[in-house]
Amino acid sequence: MRVQVAIVGGGVGGTLIANRLRHLLHGDARHETNITVYDAHGIHTYQPGWLYVPFARQDPEKLLRPEARLLQQGITLLSGHAGNVQRILPAEKRLLTADGELHGFDYLVLATGSRNAPEDVPGFAEGADHFYSEEASRRLQEKLAHFAGGRIITGVASVPYRCPPAPLEFTFMLEADLRERGLREQTELHYVFPINRPFPIQPVSDFVAPLLEERGITVHTFFNVEAIDPARRIVSSMEGEELPYDLLVLAPPHKGQDVIAASGLGDRDGWIPTDRATLRVKGYEEANIFAVGDATDLPVSKSGSAAHYQGHVVAETIAADVQHRPLQHQYHGRVACFLETGHGQATFLWFDYEHPPKPPKPRRLWHLEKAALNTFYWQLIPPARI
């Protein structure tokens, strides 16, 4: 029996699932499984590395690898127009690509990720910086290199957003960087966040709040960014607060990818309604459609870590279904990630649906472990070795 598995998106989740499935199903004489990854760019990006680019601690070129080099032999990669999925037709179990071709599937994995949506905030593109793309992180590096003092506002424009710890990590690293450069006394640091605490998860918020106070960083909660006035250098919130700035660094608004909206699979912001345990797309269970990573509406971090753990579950689920064996795997909301706290230290966050994180005291060991993961990511995560 020939089985067609289509994976849309060649990021963490999509690449890991393809490789894990190939391992699980390779050599099964009863089933011929064709695994195809659709990725318009054909380039795999290690997005967590962008955090370090503004501080000149990471070469952006080393965060990119050809997707083809990361996929096991026997997996098909379609890129360019052939890999640019324009529409998903669940009832027909087919995909329409930009070259006009229709591709059938028996199993479909949506690993489409999220996109930056700065256009949702008037003035964002002209008045704010961020590090959520290669181009933006390079531009911010240039600005920080020439910064000589003033008021810097960091934080988050709106929720949800990719990699929840990253804006805090940037803020702690920025404070340490300014101190090392002798600019801390000449700089005011402010952190803005849309809800009533500086981090979405309460135990982590309780952990970082004293650190922010200790570092002299003023926190503004219930600050949902409404508009930015680049000429006056003022950022204003929906709650009516206005803050002047010399440099503004915000996580931009995020949305699901356009293909999800075009296919009628997402909510109003393009997030895919996904079963929290099985990772099947709600309403399309019989069509064998799954979603992982940033693309989902799951109540967990939009992060590579979440996609990593979800990817193993989806690969095991599809393999078990193809081989007609009992399914033993479900996703329990597991996420594990580091949080840089500056000055060469970090903490570690591990949690799932039932167990909130309990961040340990910042240590140099956690910082070194994160550095090791950043270095060995290519050998460990995409090949599904861990």
- Give residue-wise pLDDT tens across range 137-169: 999 999 999 999 999 999 999 999 999 999 999
Question: Distance between CA atoms of 45 and 366, rounded to whole angstroms?
Answer: 23
In this structure, are 144 and 182 located in the same domain? Answer: yes
Torsion 118-124-130-133 (CA) sign: positive
Do 111 and 20 meet the contact criterion of CB atoms below 8 Å apart?
A: no
Range of the structural domain that residue 246 is part of = 117-253
In this structure, are 150 and 200 located in the same domain? Answer: yes
Mean pLDDT on 109-129 = 98
Do 117 and 292 meet the contact criterion of CB atoms below 8 Å apart?
A: no
In this structure, are 197 and 212 located in the same domain? Answer: yes
- The total number of residues written for the chain in this structure: 386
In a domain, 302, yes or no: yes
In a domain, 381, yes or no: no
In this structure, are 135 and 233 located in the same domain? Answer: yes
Domain limit, last residue, from 294, 319, 334:
334
User: What is the pairing mode between strands 102-104 and 94-97?
Assistant: antiparallel
Question: Distance between CA atoms of 6 and 101, rounded to whole angstroms?
Answer: 14
In a domain, 342, yes or no: no
In this structure, are 131 and 241 located in the same domain? Answer: yes
In this structure, are 89 and 187 located in the same domain? Answer: no
Question: Distance between CA atoms of 205 and 333, rounded to whole angstroms?
Answer: 19
pTM of the model: 0.97
Q: What is the pLDDT of residues 266-297, one digit of tens each?
A: 999 999 999 999 999 999 989 999 999 999 99
Which among 290, 332, 334, 289 is positioned nearest to 308, based on CA atoms? 334
In a domain, 386, yes or no: no
Domain count of the fold of the chain: 2
In a domain, 350, yes or no: no
First to last CA, the chain: 30
In this structure, are 11 and 104 located in the same domain? Answer: yes
Which among 222, 240, 243, 223 is positioned nearest to 232, based on CA atoms? 243
Question: Distance between CA atoms of 57 and 72, rounded to whole angstroms?
Answer: 31
Do 217 and 171 meet the contact criterion of CB atoms below 8 Å apart?
A: yes
Domain limit, last residue, from 198, 223, 253:
253
In this structure, are 271 and 172 located in the same domain? Answer: no
Question: Distance between CA atoms of 53 and 228, rounded to whole angstroms?
Answer: 24
For 176-186, give one letter per residue: b (16+ CB within 10 A) or e. Answer: bbbeeeeebee
What per-residue confidence (pLDDT) applies to 29?
61
Question: Distance between CA atoms of 340 and 170, rounded to whole angstroms?
Answer: 8
In this structure, are 209 and 149 located in the same domain? Answer: yes
Residue 107 tokens, joined? 């199993």
What per-residue confidence (pLDDT) applies to 329?
87
What per-residue confidence (pLDDT) applies to 30?
73
Q: At what angle do helices 12-25 and 304-322 cross, to 10 degrees?
A: 30
Domain limit, last residue, from 193, 218, 253:
253
Q: What is the pLDDT of residues 182-222, one digit of tens each?
A: 999 999 999 999 999 999 999 999 999 999 999 999 999 99
Do 58 and 47 meet the contact criterion of CB atoms below 8 Å apart?
A: no
In this structure, are 102 and 123 located in the same domain? Answer: no
In a domain, 209, yes or no: yes
Using CA atoms, how far residue 180 sits from 23, 137, 175, 176, 324, in Å, is: 48, 20, 9, 6, 60
In a domain, 379, yes or no: no
SS3 20: helix
Q: Which CATH number is 296's domain given? A: 3.50.50.60
In this structure, are 172 and 240 located in the same domain? Answer: yes
In a domain, 26, yes or no: yes
What per-residue confidence (pLDDT) applies to 11?
97
In this structure, are 202 and 89 located in the same domain? Answer: no
Question: Distance between CA atoms of 163 and 294, rounded to whole angstroms?
Answer: 9
